[in-house]
Amino acid sequence: MREEIRAELDKILESQYFIGGPAIAELEGKVAEYSKVGHAAGVASGTDAIIAALMAVGVYRSPLDTKPADEVIVPAYTFFATAGAVWRVGARPVFADIDPVTYNIDPSKIEEKITPRTKAIIPVHLYGQCADMKPILAIAKKHNLAVIEDACQSIGARQDGLAAGAFGDCACLSFFPTKNLGGFGDGGMVISKREDLINSVKRIRNHGMEPKYYHASVGGNFRLDTIQAAGLLIKLKRLDEWGKMRRRNADVYYEAFKGSNVQTPHILPQNESIFNQFIVRVANRDAVIAKMKDAGVGCEIYYPVPLHLQECFKPLGYKLGDFPQSELAAKETLALPIYPELAQEELLHVAQTLKAIVG
């Protein structure tokens, strides 16, 4: 893609149109079409996408507010940004435990967390697999709650034939370089079937300004750079092919780990994962990862500390033992290389190395 991308970047450098150039609107249109949602707004990161989405659905506490903070239900085990964004808009993250085999929020643990102050649920489509959306949407409808899908790891994933991001009020995407659709730095997007929500996000991403220099509300500087959009447009054309390659790689792992002590990912029958990560579970995980790295095999831990035990959330009053499945996943999970360009012999080398360590 190098020359194709460089040609587009040269056009932008020549035009000097670095903010809000035509590539932004083109990328928004193509991602909205790809996800079958209708509307999209590019923002500066996946984190900013969650912040802007929360503000757009009305979860935001002004410094002048004296009422109790809004509450938003989030999984206890995921990347920090999901809960951090809730905190940053002045709301209270309320944690729920995860399903032990999918690592996504357990729908059966959500309703017990709802209070009169609950305003939204953020299910995370973790590791490239959609959360179980039907029961989540039913709970949200029953209690009149907004649903913001955190699809930052899952563009291209599907459930019952629908794209990740096509279920809730809106969804958040990340184009961080390690994602299956990654840019040349930070980038993100909010997508939705609701034009009103996306129009709100477009105001919010530009300091709440509309028209120029008039501010009915406060937003932020959440704009997506034109250079990022230009590169992502070229990569988007290849996204489905990369997804097939990731699933092919996953199939090699599934076959290689049969009969071993390595627990492989469980994909719900209604789901098509894009395997943004390939997460396995092993006993003595920390010792295993050290031996893997000594053997020259790259691997990583996602995530070593569940959110309710993060020091910054200590004022919320959670303690060890509150969310046992999240805590166990944090101790046992290990991510293996899964990127599309891996050759079969490389995948088998990873699998054989891990099996030799754990049996």
pLDDT at res. 272: 98
> Residues 6 or more apart from 38 whose CB is under 8 A from it?
32, 192, 193, 195
List, for residues 183-221, the tens digit of each pLDDT value.
999 999 999 999 999 999 999 999 999 999 999 999 999
Which pLDDT score, from 0 to 100, does residue 107 have?
Answer: 98
Which residues, in sequence order, are CB contacts of 53 under 8 Å at separation 6+?
Answer: 148, 170, 171, 172, 190, 197, 201
Residues paired with 190 in a beta bridge? 41, 172
CATH H superfamily, domain 239-358: Aspartate Aminotransferase, domain 1 (3.90.1150.10)
Please give the model's pTM, rounded to 2 decimal places: 0.96
Q: What is the DSSP letter of 266?
A: P
Predicted confidence (pLDDT) per residue in 292-327, tens digit? 999 999 999 999 999 999 999 999 999 999 999 999
Q: What percent of the chain has pLDDT over 70?
A: 100
Residue 25 CA to residue 6 CA, distance in Å, equals 20
Q: Mean pLDDT throughout 347-358?
A: 97
Give Dmax (Cα) for the chain: 65
Domain 2-236 has CATH 3.40.640.10: yes
Residue 59 CA, chain-centre distance (Å), reads 19
CA distances from 300 to 35, 273, 285 (A): 29, 19, 11
Domain locations along the chain:
2-236, 239-358
User: What integer is the mean pLDDT of 142-170?
Assistant: 98
Distance CA 277, CA 250 (A): 10
- At 282 the pLDDT is 96
User: Is residue 338 exposed (0-12), middle (13-18) or buried (19+ Cβ within 10 Å)?
Assistant: buried
3-state secondary structure of 160: coil
Indicate whether 257 pLDDT > 90: yes
Which residues touch 24 (CB under 8 Å, ≥6 apart)? Answer: 42, 224, 226, 229
The average pLDDT across 89-97 equals 98
Q: Is the pLDDT of residue 21 over 90?
A: no
Tokens, residue 216: 């009915």
d(CA 81, CA 148): 13
Mean pLDDT of the chain: 97
Contact criterion met (CB below 8 Å) for 179 and 81 = no
pLDDT of residue 359: 79
Name the residue with tokens 């193509």: 30
pLDDT value at position 201? 98
- Spatial distance between the Cα atoms of 201 and 56, rounded to a whole number of angstroms: 6
Of 58, 54, 76, the C-alpha closest to 67 is 58
DSSP letter for each residue of 177-210: TTSSS--SS--EEEEES-HHHHHHHHHHTBTTBS
Using only C-alpha atoms, the chain has a radius of gyration, in whole angstroms, of: 21
What whole-number distance in Å separates Cα of residue 77 and Cα of residue 79?
Answer: 7
User: Given pLDDT bands bounded at 50, 70 and 90, which one contains residue 29?
Assistant: very high
Q: 35-64 pLDDT, tens per residue?
A: 999 999 999 999 999 999 999 999 999 999
> Which amino acid is residue 326, in one-letter code?
S
